[in-house]
Structure 1
Amino acid sequence: MFRLPHRSRLTAAVASALLLFGAAACGSGEGDDHSASASGGAAHKGAFPVTLTHKYGATTIKAEPRRIVTVGLSDQDAVLALGKVPVGTTEWLGNFKGAIGPWAKDALGDKPLPTVLHDNGTGPQVEKIASLHPDLILALYSGLTKDQYRTLSKIAPVVAQPKDGPDWSISWQDQTEQIGKALGRPDEAGKLVARTEKHISDAAADHPEFKGAGAVMATPYEGMYVYGPQDNRSRLLSALGFTLPAGLGKVVGDAFGANISKERTDLLDTDAVVWIVTDPAKDEKKLHANPLYGKLDVARQGREVLIKESSHFGSAVSFVSPLSLPYTVDRLVPALAAAVDGKPATKVSVPAS
């Protein structure tokens, strides 16, 4: 089933977690399997202290972090790309070892895999986070609550999601730049953003037919769920030159996405619709059997890109990071080109991984 980020609540184990942290902080941690985040370069001289603002105020990082835990669902990729390996990551998509996707394996190299944390609706695993002795907790791509922020801040400095925009909506550019500041490598983060943006813009330049064409990202989650303009999946379509449906932002409101009513199925009648699905063949049949969707030109003319959510490609499409984006673009662009070529007979081929 398609997994959406969810708002979570504190567990009943908060008190014991803080006791555990107190005991853990007394040890050096040097004997642990994850004794420190691996570094691919020193922080800039004078980079610390640095203060980062977020939804719950401001957090000051006094020195270069060595033991980083990522509570944000995709924060680990920017950390890896900037030369460090988190001691803990939060699982979201793909059930990858260490919560490290295949697109990030080169950045990980032969360094130890992070400990994987799970948030199944009960909030961050406070005890487990405390046991990892973090000196920085990143929660940029997250829906961290104020209570969760306060609790985690008793363990280590926490950088939460931005105050502007809905939860789980920070752009990958801002996410990367904020993490770059937190790690003392802002220049490297800026170069990483520029390099990734160029990969996307080069793909767009190679396909001028994308410019001005309509497109939307969706999933058959509890009906028909569309991703809004403030979601990174939609932002990728825009960066490739596509135009999102008029009225999409109004329908989604102050969220990264929303289920649409039967009356707004028209939002899907674009030049191309990218579906993130559980089973492409079965879900296509179900979608086309829907009388409201099946009669739309986008469905009748085969202008759909159906991506299996559990595939590596499907995970990358939702991850949207400086490491996953080149992987996504190289696979998504040919499928989009086939969808908008104006020839209904063209088969839209989607990579299996």
Structure 2
Amino acid sequence: MTTAVLIALVALIASLLGACGSDDSDSGSGASFTMENAFGTTNVPVSPKRILAVSEADLNAAQVLGVTPSVVAEYKEFPFNTWTTDALKEADADPERIWTGTSYEIRTEDVVKAKPDLILAVGSWYMDDTYKQLSKIAPVVTFPKPFTSPSDVDSATFLRTVAKALGKEDEAEKVIKDTDAKAAQWREDNPSVVGKTAALAVQYIGGGISNDSVEPYVANYLKMFGLVPPPSSDPAQPSLEDLSSLDRDILILNFYADRKEITENTVFKNLAVVKDGRTVENKPLAEAAGTPTYLNMNYVLDDTGVRDALRAAAAKVKS
């Protein structure tokens, strides 16, 4: 074999090896970019292979972008909602579960066992306590500044944060645009609902009642239907002796404990909204308000049961 042939052969082998190395790099091996959040800076892998979603809202954000995380947290006391399970079936996906009890906190030992290479935690209520711990396991994507908790984060910011981490920013903008258009059409198709005042009250485990509609994320959700939420200055935890802040055109209710504590309360029964039958108990409508995501927002906008319930209550409002 001549020297010239040997040189050519060595060059060919080198070029093939170089091509293999290029493929590995393109697959995201070692490649990352930075994302700022309320607690610091995260180096996010370009092509994460094993994603953990620590809340149903984080799972929903990934799902609406066409991504199903490998591992998800599901709470035994609050199993996934219909829109989430429907999307899993549609994707023919059955991700691993990290189970928790009545608390929404994720145990770090379970996360270690899951071996994620990216943690989606924009919807986590425990970042103050767990961000540093989780960051030692894998990069954590959570809410950006100036937000201080998931309840402050608007739906668009939530989705865009997850989308940036997953390299799905164009898809996110399309979802936002299409959902805004669908909501506008809903309001056009249901003028009797638009402009009505509304409150959303929840009886959580432990008793009492919470006026969740004073929270910005719930207020924005109600506005999607053209409803007018109560002032943010209204009491978030009204006493059972004074429920006047719930007396709106429409009162949306959700119960997690013994409903009789509320429904048999004399003050509650004497509210005009209750006496006139302008209360709404619709599980999808109330559950989606808990953490509005573009997946569940589209679900309720398409749900004829939600539409009919709001129309029926609005029809009883006295002019």
Task: After TM superposition, list the pairs within 5 Å mapping 1:185-200 onto structure 2.
Answer: 185-200=168-183
**CA spacing shift, 1:289–1:96, aligned 2, 3 Å:** closer
Task: After TM superposition, list the pairs within 5 Å mapping 1:60-71 onto structure 2.
Answer: 60-71=43-54
Cα deviation for residue 100 of structure 1 reads 7.7
Which amino acid letter does the alignment assign opposite residue 212 of structure 2?
Answer: Y
Cα deviation for residue 121 of structure 1 reads 3.2
Q: Which residue of 2 aligns with 1:299?
A: 274
Tell me whether 1:335 sits opposite 2:309 in the alignment.
yes
Cα deviation for residue 316 of structure 1 reads 4.2
CA contact (8 A) 1:275 1:306 kept: yes
1:182-215 Cα shifts (integer Å, max 9, x gaps):
0011010111122222222211111122232100
Cα deviation for residue 119 of structure 1 reads 5.7
Q: Which residue of 2 aligns with 1:59?
A: 42
Q: Distance in 1 between matches of 2:278 and 2:233?
A: 25
Cα deviation for residue 79 of structure 1 reads 1.0
Q: Distance in 2 between matches of 1:70 and 1:122?
A: 13
Task: After TM superposition, list the pairs within 5 Å mapping 1:27-106 onto structure 2.
Answer: 49-92=32-75, 94-96=78-80, 101-106=84-89
Residue number among 214, 224, 228 corresponding to 1:243 in the alignment: 228
1:260-316 Cα shifts (integer Å, max 9, x gaps):
13565111111101001248xx83x653432222222101100000135xxx66544
CA contact (8 A) 1:126 1:152 kept: yes
SS in 2 for 1:58: strand
**CA spacing shift, 1:166–1:73, aligned 2, 3 Å:** farther
Q: Distance in 2 between matches of 1:100 and 1:118?
A: 20
Q: Distance in 2 between matches of 1:67 and 1:77?
A: 16
Cα deviation for residue 181 of structure 1 reads 0.3
Cα deviation for residue 333 of structure 1 reads 2.2
Residue number among 209, 215, 221 corresponding to 1:224 in the alignment: 209
**CA spacing shift, 1:182–1:74, aligned 2, 3 Å:** same
Cα deviation for residue 234 of structure 1 reads 3.0
RMSD: 2.9
Which amino acid letter does the alignment assign opposite residue 234 of structure 1?
Answer: A
Cα deviation for residue 155 of structure 1 reads 0.9
Cα deviation for residue 166 of structure 1 reads 5.1
**CA spacing shift, 1:122–1:168, aligned 2, 3 Å:** closer
CA contact (8 A) 1:165 1:230 kept: no
Residue number among 233, 243, 257 corresponding to 1:265 in the alignment: 243
Q: Which residue of 2 aligns with 1:211?
A: 194
Cα deviation for residue 142 of structure 1 reads 1.5
Which amino acid letter does the alignment assign opposite residue 240 of structure 1?
Answer: F
Cα deviation for residue 179 of structure 1 reads 0.6
**CA spacing shift, 1:206–1:146, aligned 2, 3 Å:** same
SS in 2 for 1:123: coil
Q: Distance in 1 between matches of 2:163 and 2:306?
A: 28
Q: Which residue of 1 aligns with 2:119?
A: 137
> 1 or 2, which has the higher helix percentage?
2
1:23-60 Cα shifts (integer Å, max 9, x gaps):
xxxxxxxxxxxxxxxxxxxx9x9xx7443222212223
In structure 2, list runs of 5 or more residues that go unmatched. 1-25
SS in 1 for 2:215: coil
Cα deviation for residue 165 of structure 1 reads 4.4
Q: Distance in 2 between matches of 1:71 and 1:183?
A: 15
Q: Distance in 2 between matches of 1:228 and 1:292?
A: 20
Q: Distance in 2 between matches of 1:324 and 1:261?
A: 31
SS in 1 for 2:192: helix
Which amino acid letter does the alignment assign opposite residue 80 of structure 1?
Answer: Q
Which amino acid letter does the alignment assign opposite residue 281 of structure 2?
Answer: L
Tell me whether 1:289 sits opposite 2:264 in the alignment.
yes
In structure 1, list runs of 5 or more residues that go unmatched. 1-42, 253-257, 345-353
Which amino acid letter does the alignment assign opposite residue 209 of structure 1?
Answer: S
SS in 1 for 2:315: coil
Question: Number of residue pairs matched?
Answer: 284
SS in 2 for 1:64: coil
Q: Distance in 2 between matches of 1:228 and 1:314?
A: 11
SS in 2 for 1:90: strand
CA contact (8 A) 1:117 1:125 kept: no
**CA spacing shift, 1:199–1:114, aligned 2, 3 Å:** farther
CA contact (8 A) 1:229 1:235 kept: no
